[in-house]
Amino acid sequence: MRRRHPALRDFPVCLQLEGRRALVVGAGEVATRRIVALLEAGARVTVVAPEASAIVRGLAASRSLAWRRRCFRLSDLRDASVVFAATSDRATNRAVAKAATKQKVLVNACDDPAACTFTMPAVARRGALSLAVSTGGTSPATAARVRDALAESETWTADELMGRTTWQRTH
């Protein structure tokens, strides 16, 4: 996969995925978290995995997502705007990431930041306000701890911050 220059930094963005196809390869615990977040963002989610968590099975039964009960195929990438390789097998994740990158589709391999075209920050939300903390994939646990500390802080009150933002935008 790609080697990253040590001085380069990630470019933070918030993706608008409503109505766009998101492919998740895998359906375990990590994949399930990604799937739920994608559905909350309004993405059309397709899951490719021979087995799935109870949550994914329930979402498939309610037709909230499409579940293909099999292993990944290159054709699964068709029309995908974003891909998450989140299986328990690193070689599979790397193969999915390589294929997606070759087709110029944004991809996150959950266990391999070097194989990703983007990494996932730790996110906290309060109303319309989102707080994202990233270590560029080097330490998700650290990002989660910082996110939790900031989110639990009394100084981070969404109503106050959004009120200030609204005031700044209207005056």
pLDDT of residue 4: 55
Cα-to-chain-centroid distance, residue 107: 9
What residue ranges define each of the domains in the chain, with the CATH number in brackets? 21-115 (3.40.50.720), 122-170 (no CATH)
Taking only the tens place, the pLDDT of each residue in 9-64 is: 788 899 999 999 999 999 999 999 999 999 999 999 999 999 999 999 999 999 99
Residue 157 has a pLDDT of 61
- Is pLDDT at 169 greater than 80 in this prediction? no
Cβ within 8 Å of residue 49, ≥6 positions away = 25, 26, 27, 28, 31, 56, 67, 68, 69, 87
Which of 98 and 160 is assigned the larger pLDDT?
98
Which is nearest to 48 in space by CA: 96, 91, 118? Answer: 96
User: Greatest CA span in the chain, whole angstroms?
Assistant: 55
pLDDT digits (tens, 9 = 90+) for 105-146: 999 999 888 899 998 888 988 877 888 888 877 888 898 898
* pLDDT score of 21: 99
Q: Could you tell me which residues come within 8 angstroms of residue 88 by beta carbon, excluding any fewer than 6 positions away? A: 26, 28
pLDDT (0 to 100) of residue 140: 83
Q: How far is CA 39 from CA 47, 110, 138, 149, in A?
A: 12, 18, 26, 26
User: pLDDT, tens digit, for every residue of 138-150?
Assistant: 888 898 898 888 8
Task: Average the pLDDT over each of 3-12, 25-34, 72-81, 86-95 and give the range with the smallest value.
Answer: 3-12
